[in-house]
Amino acid sequence: MAELGKVKARIEKLKAQINHHNYRYYVLDSPEISDAEYDELMRELKGLEEKYPQFLTSDSPTQRVGAKPVEAFGVVEHPLPLLSLGNAFSEEELIAWYNRISKLVGGQLSFVGEHKIDGLAVALTYVNRRLTIGATRGDGFHGEDITQNLRTIGSLPLSVPKEAPPRFEVRGEVFLPKVGFDKLNKERAAEGLPLFANPRNAAAGSARQLDPRVTARRPLDIYIYMLGYAEGRPTPSSHWETMEYLGSLGFKVNPNNRKLATIEQVSHFYDSWRERREDLPYEADGIVVKVDSLDLQGRLGDIGHEPRWAIAYKFPAIQGTTRLKKIEISVGRTGTLNPYAVLEPVAVGGVTIRKAALHNEDDIRRKDIREGDIVIIQRAGEVIPEIVAPVKGKRRGREKEFRLLEKIYDSKKKRPACPECGAEVVKAEGEVMYYCSNAACPAQIQERLEHFVSRGGMDIRGIGERLSAALFEQGLVRDVSDLYYLKEKDLLKLEGMAEKSVGNILGAIEKSKKTPLGRVIFALGIRHVGGEMAEILANEFSSLDELAQASAEKLIAITTVGPKIAESVTAFFKQKENRRIIKRLEKAGVRLKAEKIEAREIPLAGQEFVITGRLENFSRQQAEAQIRALGGSTKSDVTRQTDYLVVGAEPGSKLAKAKALGIKQISEEELLRLLEQKT
């Protein structure tokens, strides 16, 4: 009796926990635990109720499909219930399901495999070819009438061809593509609104807005996954053929669906997508396996609130919960100070996670993440773990709010300092990130080196990403000025370097000493100073030394130079290490003054270029810098004064405008040849 008492108490506790989490998830759109943890609670409860049926009650969460409809929406009664699916978490559980249903029907089965998309399940009723009702699953028997919201989804047909049955219902999954989810969260962050935890919450929240105009502004999509019922016209006898039929009526059917002849093919389908799930444009947490024959589906029927003829075969969890021990700071390759979380180790998707990404201090405050919190983590892209949200209900009162400047404060220098090099930390007006402005900071030297030698910068041919890394790793280059002190014997020590290639590199380094001032300024990698701004500064100041002495007020007085750029320029030249680098460049013979250019040295003088599309060999900024270095001008719009339109991959509307105006179009390869001929 005591044992039964413990079982009953455990069941009651599980029911209370699950009901709490259902409310947090479905009503508040604010989950406190990961999907895997929720599934584990449900599995334990279901297992206990099966073993001790005397404790199974009608109000148990296992007897419900979802959440009750929200009263703010009209309530729709489903003619046929929208059931939830049973789950398989291993191949053994999949095979056990297959064996059970095979015995019931006594024969070979074929299947259809589909992705289990994370979204909002809906039922759509069409009468006389028109969409009349769109409802959520709700509790499986009654859903919320969200017809007006669903009508805003562009991929959902509002009417169907005359070949359609007079009255029928289809069922589908409303979802938010990953790209749309990222964009939506960025917009919400900019407005200071709470971020959605995942695309599923975002899709559910978007589709269940009381104002359809809000829904219309969000990029929702939908895949139809089955025919609920049809009246007045015969329909196909298999699920696969039914989906093809619905596709012919204009419904969007997932192109990744597959017809699978055996259970072995089901396993292969699962394995292939488990490895490639991050390639999908939407979130999917597994596959759905359905018996293809509709007759066999009917014979198998339902058990409890689940169909026997279908099962969800779940991917390994990518979410979990653990304690955030502390927040530390790392310096990125571009100098940004990036907070990251140190976690109590937790296994997620077969990998032990000890650290997780945190975007920036503002995002940490927006999410209200604190040191000591229990947090939900997610393996983003199956590689980099990130913190989704804190579980505020588990706080103990000892959690500590994060302050970046306090974390990096140097008591000896009496100011915040870069954790890598101790240099001053800067945060430009209107930005969210702090960064180290030291060009010799060890954490960012390789990125700065690659930028310095790029075509738009000093244009030192032969030094790419691999050689940049080797020069740094071997201690030959600690800042960009070291390039001009390299010797032949230094380069010959590097793997794969021969005398000819070394000679070419040293020759390119020597040639770069005559680089025009504008490109030198750009090459230094001053934050917010792109190719065009570097040229503007070179035209205003006669030398790099004069620019270094300029005050923020003098810089702001220049047209197109705002406070952010002025602050970044002055911060750069304020750093002792940066001034040392510039002196070494000057000593090496690099031209740091603007020189009067003869007409013969500006062969593109008077010629105007516009670039459209994506360039492969260099960035648009770098291409424009090279054009301007040869005396040409660059503009953002095509006009009658444009001489050349450079057409890259996936060109925009500028191409049509250029054709209409009769402007000459050249390819990226033709631009490269033109620049090389004029050099």
Among all residues, which ones are annotated catalytic? 116
Could you tell me how many residues make up the chain? 679
In our burial notation (b when 16+ CB lie closer than 10 A, e otherwise), range 574-585 reads: ebeebeebbebb
Residue 302 pairs with which residues in a beta bridge? 307
Contact 34, 320 (CB under 8 A): yes
Q: Where are the beta strands (DSSP E) in 9-166?
A: 74-77, 86-88, 111-117, 120-127, 130-136, 142-145
The Cβ of residue 103 has, within 10 Å, a number of other Cβ atoms equal to 8
User: Following DSSP, what letter does each residue of 214-282 receive, concatenated?
Assistant: HHHTS--EEEEEEEEEEESS---SBHHHHHHHHHHTT----TT-EEESSHHHHHHHHHHHHHHGGGSSS
Contact 517, 548 (CB under 8 A): no
What's the 3-state SS for 108-139?
Answer: CCCEEEEEEECCEEEEEEEECCEEEEEEECCC
What's the rounded Cα separation, in Å, for the pair 504 and 112? Answer: 60
What's the rounded Cα separation, in Å, for the pair 290 and 306? Answer: 12
Q: Dihedral of CA 412/417/421/426: which sign? A: negative
What's the rounded Cα separation, in Å, for the pair 206 and 55? Answer: 38
What's the 3-state SS for 477-544?
Answer: CCCHHHHHHCCHHHHHCCCCCCHHHHHHHHHHHHHHHHCCHHHHHHHCCCCCCCHHHHHHHHHHCCEH
The Cβ of residue 616 has, within 10 Å, a number of other Cβ atoms equal to 9
What's the rounded Cα separation, in Å, for the pair 143 and 81? Answer: 10
- Going by their DSSP bridges, the two strands 310-314 and 284-291 should be labelled as antiparallel
What's the rounded Cα separation, in Å, for the pair 534 and 560? Answer: 12
Q: Token pair for residue 165?
A: 């049955």
Contact 155, 221 (CB under 8 A): yes
What's the rounded Cα separation, in Å, for the pair 452 and 267? Answer: 51
Q: Token pair for residue 323?
A: 């304690």
Query: Residue type at 192?
Result: G
Contact 261, 289 (CB under 8 A): no
383 CB-near residues (< 8 Å, 6+ apart)? none
Residue from 603, 581, 616, 592 nearest 679 by CA: 603
> Dihedrals φ, ψ of 92, to 5°?
-60, -40
Residue from 646, 652, 637 nearest 667 by CA: 646
Q: Dihedral of CA 160/164/167/168: which sign? A: negative
